[in-house]
Structure 1
Amino acid sequence: MAPRTMQSEIRAMTMECDRIGGVNLAQGVCDTEPPGPVIEGAIEAIHAGHNIYTRLDGIARLRQAIAAKMLRDRRMMVDPDAEILVTSGATGGLQAASLALLNPGDEVILFEPFYGYHASELKSKRVVPVIVPLCAPVSPEADWTLDLDALRAALTPRTRAMIVNTPSNPCGKIFTRAELEALSEVAMEYGLFVFTDEIYEHFVYGDAEHISPATLPGMRERTIVISGFSKTFSVTGWRLGYLVADAKWLGAISYFHDLTYVCAPSAFQHGAAQGLEQLGPEFYTQLATDHEAKRARIVAALKDAGMKPYIPRGAYYVLADASQLPGETAAIKARWLLAKTGVAAVAGSAFFRAGHGEDLLRFCFAKKDDDLDDACVRLRTLGSGSV
């Protein structure tokens, strides 16, 4: 019998939402409008004939723009010819890095709640995800926090790396400097790699600050920085990311990315490069401001609907307590909510170990204003007793 193809809960809810014509707050598609320079740069590149393979590590223009960005935003000097790989999405970067640096049977620390694709990627390489729960917020305004004792208790002689997603999907956690310094001490003590997923780096709210572990003392060599343009430029379908690593690792990582993807889409690379070159600091400030306003709208609607939202400090998702909704599991609750209101959310259990997260739902608020407002009106029908 052929093995059954597994489908993520996120995609399952998206398909069901599409079937009934609902409002999709399940998948992080980020369907806001892409910036003009990004779109124009890609179109110009197509007409200019940039439609063939690029170098395996990406076009020089984009690598140089990424290096300039790393210096501007992270104060990191990066060699565009030896330390940057343009990837087929951030997921492609993680896949290539895990193939290059991990072996079957290795263990990698994931912090819970975790992004399911991280766990699945590791499992696909016969690498063992080891889940370390974060401490849940004591109030809706508080953040999830690192339990250093739980981390140390999870380490074994087979531990090879940890994945740090900051800002985090699904809970919006931003690891503090003190937490990252503690993680760095562990990484250096045990000789671990740190794979850091920073795809939501520009979605930071209030007084929160995004810090890349690679910028901390002693961490440059062992940190594999993974990010991309899907979220920042609202081009999730372009599958365009990048990876920054020490030159000693980049050759092997690039080899495996070439083996799987050959290269990232050529014309799209030109579009992203033009975006990095032409969009100034005000673009990124406005991006965060716009999404902070969207966050306020969905948080208010969830409260009115009788669900307790945990207010994220970053990214563009909200985890909400849905314990009052009917159903024994989060998946059943999500499907009940979709049937009653036409709003799709993701079961919290998709981001936790088995048996956990069953009273939580995740909502994405990176939506066009009209769609987000429609979803908020639909959700409020729960509180008004209309459904």
Structure 2
Amino acid sequence: MNFPIAKRIADLRPSDIRLMTRECERLGGINLGQGLGDLPAPPEVRDGAIKAIQDGRNTYTPSEGVTPLRLAIAEKLRRDNGLTVDPEQEIVISNGTTGAFAATLTALLNPGDGILLLEPYYGYHLNTILLQGLEPQFLTLNPPEFDLDEAALNAAVRPNTRAMVLCTPANPSGKMFSATELAIVERVAERHNLLIISDEIYEYITYDGRQHVSPASVGRLGERTVSIMGFSKTFSITGWRLGYAVAEASLASAINLVNDLLYVCAPSPLQYGVAAGLEVPPEYFQHLRSEYQRKRDIICEGLNDAGLTPLVPQGAYYVLASIAHLGFADARSAAISLLEQTGVASVPGSAFYQSGAGESLIRFCFAKDDATLREAVARLRKFRS
């Protein structure tokens, strides 16, 4: 039988991240493409989930999440993000930050609404936007600093633009938006009455003493911001699929309605595990930053030695490298050539751009154990374009 597929997925394409992962597996290579974060989970998180299973916490939870986790998040937001929120009405636990993002779009925007992405963007943001029938709109930030300009941002807003996505620290660039840049966002959002959706999944992975600034903590942005955060990167539990949305009560209520319909609830015992993880001492987060900064420096040195120019990230655990000088026709050709020659997988920069700017870039993930990362760097040094 030849049943037609839904029109809503007609413009969707498989992620190049997935495609490069499959090709890497076929060749038995080292995968620096997908953001797997294959470091061990903290014992507190692991043991907290195990205890919850043993205690029989295996049934449905409230759609907004279990109370201990929402209380722990509220304290974390106060301590680390400068945000005071009501854990009963302003926090929604979901199935990963992707789940929280999808629920937010469904609850707060209508088909045909415009939503502004700053490129390079995270590909799953774009595909979720397309799936919702929204109109993606783009503003390109220029390397190496990816600075946000107020005039350019204001000019990018169209008559139907209703929202803007921020990712800080950003995937794939590692860009961290400063308080000054977020003040620009506040002014433009006020001028055009925009909803701000802030993806902060990498908030604890920052470098060179930089402090993460949550957009909702700047001026009056909190009134119009949905802060989307999670645990996958902080605790190296990407497969657990746990994230959350923080917003003013009426927005959170709408998001939770959709969250319930789409997902029912997040996995019960895993919620208790991350609640235990949020009780770890501050030294854990300091160690996390220093370890990833060390790994960042290892990969950037290796890329330089391989003749690939790294755009040194301010945060997150990815690095874009310039291939403009190597003469490849496009970024995918460069990524495939690199994988075939060295056995190291990257992701074409075109996966993160609507414009052609990504054709001169490839992205690497350095969230790997030291032995794997050093072997990858040794292989990269043998690369010849």
TM norm structure 1:
0.95
**In the alignment, does 2:111 pair up with 1:104?**
yes
1:209-265: CA deviation from partner (whole Å, max 9, x where unpaired) = 211110112111211000100000000000000110100111110011111111111
The within-5 A match list for 1:154-193 is: 154-193=156-195
Cα distance in 1, alignment partners of residues 95 and 173 from structure 2: 25
The within-5 A match list for 1:1-387 is: 2-3=4-5, 6-137=13-144, 143-277=145-279, 279-325=280-326, 327-382=328-383
1:145-201: CA deviation from partner (whole Å, max 9, x where unpaired) = 012222111112211010010000000000011100010111112111100000000
Gaps of at least 5 residues in structure 1 are 138-142
Cα distance in 1, alignment partners of residues 283 and 240 from structure 2: 24
SS at match of 1:357: helix
Gaps of at least 5 residues in structure 2 are none
1:206 Cα deviation from its structure 2 partner: 0.7
Cα distance in 1, alignment partners of residues 172 and 258 from structure 2: 28
1:55-95: CA deviation from partner (whole Å, max 9, x where unpaired) = 00000010000001001001211111000001100000000
1:288-311: CA deviation from partner (whole Å, max 9, x where unpaired) = 000000000000000000010000
Task: Please tell me whether the aligned partners of residues 135 and 147 of structure 1 are also in contact (alpha carbons under 8 angstroms).
Answer: no
TM norm structure 2:
0.96
SS at match of 2:333: helix
1:40-68: CA deviation from partner (whole Å, max 9, x where unpaired) = 00111111111111000000010000001
1:356 Cα deviation from its structure 2 partner: 2.6
More displaced 10-residue stretch of structure 1: 318-327 or 185-194: 318-327
One-letter amino acid matched to 2:36? V
More displaced 10-residue stretch of structure 1: 253-262 or 203-212: 203-212
One-letter amino acid matched to 2:16? E
Cα distance in 2, alignment partners of residues 302 and 289 from structure 1: 20
SS at match of 2:357: coil
1:343 Cα deviation from its structure 2 partner: 0.2
**Runs of at least 4 residues of structure 1 off by over 4 A?**
none
1:353-382: CA deviation from partner (whole Å, max 9, x where unpaired) = 143311110000011111111101100112
Cα distance in 2, alignment partners of residues 75 and 356 from structure 1: 36
Cα distance in 2, alignment partners of residues 369 and 241 from structure 1: 27
One-letter amino acid matched to 1:258? D
Cα distance in 2, alignment partners of residues 275 and 223 from structure 1: 26
Cα distance in 2, alignment partners of residues 166 and 25 from structure 1: 21
One-letter amino acid matched to 2:239? G
Cα distance in 2, alignment partners of residues 264 and 326 from structure 1: 47
Task: Please tell me whether the aligned partners of residues 13 and 346 of structure 1 are also in contact (alpha carbons under 8 angstroms).
Answer: yes
One-letter amino acid matched to 1:244? V
1:7 Cα deviation from its structure 2 partner: 1.2
Cα distance in 2, alignment partners of residues 117 and 177 from structure 1: 26
One-letter amino acid matched to 2:357? H
Task: Please tell me whether the aligned partners of residues 238 and 268 of structure 1 are also in contact (alpha carbons under 8 angstroms).
Answer: yes
1:350 Cα deviation from its structure 2 partner: 0.5
Task: Please tell me whether the aligned partners of residues 326 and 336 of structure 1 are also in contact (alpha carbons under 8 angstroms).
Answer: no
1:329 Cα deviation from its structure 2 partner: 1.3
SS at match of 1:67: helix
SS at match of 2:382: helix
One-letter amino acid matched to 1:81? E
Cα distance in 1, alignment partners of residues 13 and 82 from structure 2: 41
Cα distance in 1, alignment partners of residues 48 and 56 from structure 2: 12
